Amino acid sequence: MRHTLPPTVLTIFGITGNLSQRKLMPALYELERQKRLPEDFRIVAVFHGVPDVESVMQQTELQILRDHRDFDPDILASLRRFLVPVQMDSTNPDDFKTLRDCLKQLDEKVKHNRLFYLAIPPDIFTKVIQNLSSVGLNRPDLGVDVRVLVEKPFGNNLASSQELIKDLSKNFEERQVFRIDHYLAKETAQNILAFRFENPLVEGIWSRQFIDHIQITMAESIGIQGRVNFYEHMGALRDIIQNHLMQLVSLILMERPDSLSAHGIHKEKLRLLQSIERIKPQHVDEVAARGQYVGYRDEVAKEDTRTETFAALKLEVANTRWGGVPILLRTGKGLATTATEICVVFKDRLRAGSNDNLLVIRIQPNEGIFLKLLAKRPGFTDRLQPVNMNFLYQDSFSGTQPDSYQRVLIDAMRGDQSLFASSEEVTASWELLQPVLDAWMASDGSPELYEKGSWGPKAAEQLAANYGCVWFNPEPVADEEAAHPVSN
Ligand code: BG6
């Protein structure tokens, strides 16, 4: 039996693009396999050229096989019947009348909620928003809702993100806008609040009294995988820290919300982001480090590129719970392994900098939580040895968990904004990072080079050392391929 979701039409702008082919269509296939899509469902696929639905389906099949998922041609055929192709130029306002007519036709028997998924390059983003609204497609109707799903990057800096927010808010209400940060939809990220607030043992030690510092590492062994244009405009700070890592920071450090409603969570996340100390321009070199892997210049065919493929940052929260606790963030491509981990290092008077007492929340892969504690070695000795207590999702919970894009799609169909970033959070995060971006832009220096397969530039080690910390490196992954759930 199908799960009950309201009748929905999902319009995908960018159906032939990388994101749709690698993430959205496979996620829709999986949802169809689990019979989680609404009984009354349509996917309006926007093609710029002559619609080629067969090629979209073939690409979806290839991606499912690449992801090592079971492939069933009947399920793909069943997904295929939802697809309604439309040929239009998304930058041409007149073409939106065609789209409006198509949606009207689909509403003849049953009225549908309308979801517009903007899986398109940021430069045409505003145009599409304006075009939707020019033909009235932004307006909810009696009993049916209209939502727009937007992918990061939400701008390229503080000023451009403000522009985007303004353009969006002129045409859509905040409750209609779903800003996707797929890290928030990862099962392990969702568990952070439950783990923190539902276990008195954890809640009791979650403060500067017991915690020495916190590290968050998002490492990828892959390079930029041919996304030259995208990455040259981004760099690691914008691509990962501004969104995914700042969202993890807010979940790890925020206060308990009044309620677990979208509003309650957004309010506390924002409060936390706003209480992070501003970085002064003269301190950027002390609190931020950047690097570039050897070979990147050839890949982008730009000898003098200064784009960073690695970034590290130290933050500090100015509140009574966290004052004085360094929060260290790092991310990079071409690193020794692929893993995202949050490492909470406890205060240890005798062994400062030892990393022997810590708790690691493994966001991916090998999702789980482990504690490293000291125990006395057995036998005629007083010597201590670090030992691990390990919780693995795969051992404790049976069945496969929905991947982040399945979750994003279902929550958007339900109208639940809890796992999406609010405009204020996006702004707060850009405000924090802007001084670093400005300083790097103004500096004559270049990012420090590092070898692929290493843990990044020496400057990152120095950054941690400035605060008496040593990076805790995630274990290498046995099956590297499994660790790359393909980037969007
Ligand atoms: C994306 C970034 O947001 O996240 C990519 O643009 C990165 O550069 C990807 O590879 C990583 O996502 P995941 O889910 O594979 O960790």
Instruction: Give the 3-state DSSP-derived string for 388-400, with helices as H, strands as E and coil as C.
Output: EEEEEHHHHCCCC
pLDDT for 67 equals 86
- Which of 151, 217, 228, 240 to mutate to test ligand 1, by most ligand atoms within 8 A of the CB atom? 240
Q: Convert the pLDDT of each residue in 38-47 to its tens digit.
A: 989 999 999 9
Question: Which atom of ligand 1 approaches the CA of 239 most closely?
Answer: 6
pTM of the model: 0.92
Mean pLDDT of 100-126: 93
* Annotation says 244 is catalytic: yes
**Which ligand 1 atom sits nearest the alpha carbon of residue 183?**
14
Q: Please report which confidence band the pLDDT of residue 482 belongs to, taking 50, 70 and 90 as the band edges.
A: very low
CB atoms within 10 A of CB 92: 11
Cβ atoms within 10 Å of 143's Cβ, excluding its own: 8
Q: What is the mean pLDDT of residues 230-252?
A: 96
CA–CA separation, 211 and 342 (whole Å) = 13
Q: What is the pLDDT of residue 442?
A: 95
121 CA distance to ligand 1 middle (Å): 16
Per DSSP, the residues of 81-127 read TTEEEEE--TT-TTHHHHHHHHHHHHTTTS--EEEEEE-S-GGGHHH
* Per-residue pLDDT at 483 exceeds 70: no
Residue nearest to atom 12 of ligand 1 (CA): 487
Report the percentage of the chain scoring pLDDT > 70.
Answer: 96
Closest CA to 211 of 359, 347, 327: 347
Look at 66 and 294; give whichever has higher pLDDT: 294
Residue nearest to atom 9 of ligand 1 (CA): 487
Model confidence at 2, in pLDDT bands (50, 70, 90)? low
Residue 478 scores a pLDDT above 70:
no
pLDDT tops 50 at residue 485: no
Q: Are 68 and 102 in contact (CB under 8 A)?
A: no
With CA atoms as reference, report the closest residue to 486 among 225, 142, 268, 293.
225
* Ligand 1 mutation pick, 18, 239, 333, 405, max ligand atoms within 8 A of CB: 239
Instruction: Tell how far the Cα of 342 is from the centroid of ligand 1, in angstroms.
Output: 17
Looking at ligand 1, which atom is closest to the CA of residue 364?
Answer: 16
Instruction: Calculate how far, in angstroms, residue 81's C-alpha sits from the geometric centre of ligand 1.
Output: 30
**What confidence tens digit (pLDDT) does each residue in 184-206 have?**
988 889 899 999 999 999 999 99
Q: Of residues 112, 182, 213, 244, which has the active-site annotation? A: 244
Does residue 371 have a pLDDT over 70?
Answer: yes
Confidence of residue 167 (pLDDT cuts 50, 70, 90): very high
Among 305, 295, 313, smallest CA distance to 454 is for 295
Lowest mean pLDDT among 82-91, 299-308, 401-410: 401-410
In sequence order, what E strands does 351-426 have? 358-364, 368-376, 384-392, 420-421
Choice among 210-224, 325-339, 372-386, 432-446 with the minimum mean pLDDT: 372-386
Query: Which protein residue's CA is at the shortest distance from atom 10 of ligand 1?
Result: 487
Cα 418 to averaged position of ligand 1 atoms, centre (Å): 20
Whether 352 shows a pLDDT value over 80: the answer reads no
Q: Whose CA is nearest to atom 4 of ligand 1?
A: 487
pLDDT in tens, 69-97: 889 999 999 999 999 999 999 999 999 99
pLDDT recorded at residue 339: 97
Which residue, judged by its Cα, is nearest atom 7 of ligand 1?
487
Average pLDDT over residues 241-257: 97
Quick one: which atom of ligand 1 is closest to the CA of 220? 10
Q: Name the residue with the closest Cα to ligand 1, atom 6.
A: 239
Centre of ligand 1 to C-alpha 487, Å, is 4
Ligand 1 centre distance from Cα of residue 218 (Å): 9
Mean pLDDT, range 409-421, rounded to an integer: 93
Average of per-residue pLDDT values in the chain: 92
Taking a C-beta distance cutoff of 8 angstroms, is the pair 452, 294 a contact?
Answer: yes
Contact 29, 60 (CB under 8 A): yes
Return d(Cα 14, Cα 297) in angstroms, integer: 29
Ligand 1 mean position to 397 CA, how many Å? 25
Residue 234 CA, closest ligand 1 atom number: 6
Residue 228 has pLDDT above 70, yes or no: yes
Residue 405's nearest CA partner among 184, 248, 217 is 184
User: Sorting pLDDT into bands at 50, 70 and 90, what band is 422?
Assistant: very high
340 CA closest ligand 1 atom index: 16
Closest among 111, 98, 116, 118 to 38, alpha carbons compared? 111
Ligand 1, pocket residues at CB < 6 Å? 182, 220, 239, 485, 487-488
What spacing in Å lies between the alpha carbon of 364 and ligand 1's midpoint?
Answer: 12
Task: Compare 33 and 487 and report the one with higher pLDDT.
Answer: 33
Residue nearest to atom 11 of ligand 1 (CA): 487
Per-residue model confidence as pLDDT tens digits over 376-388: 999 999 998 989 9
What is the pLDDT at residue 487? Answer: 36
- For the chain, helix, strand, coil in percent to 5 are 40, 20, 40
- C-alpha 140/C-alpha 328 separation (Å) is 43
Q: Which two tokens stand for residue 336?
A: 């020794």
Collapsing DSSP to helix, strand or coil, 178 comes out as strand
Give the pLDDT mean for 13-35. 94
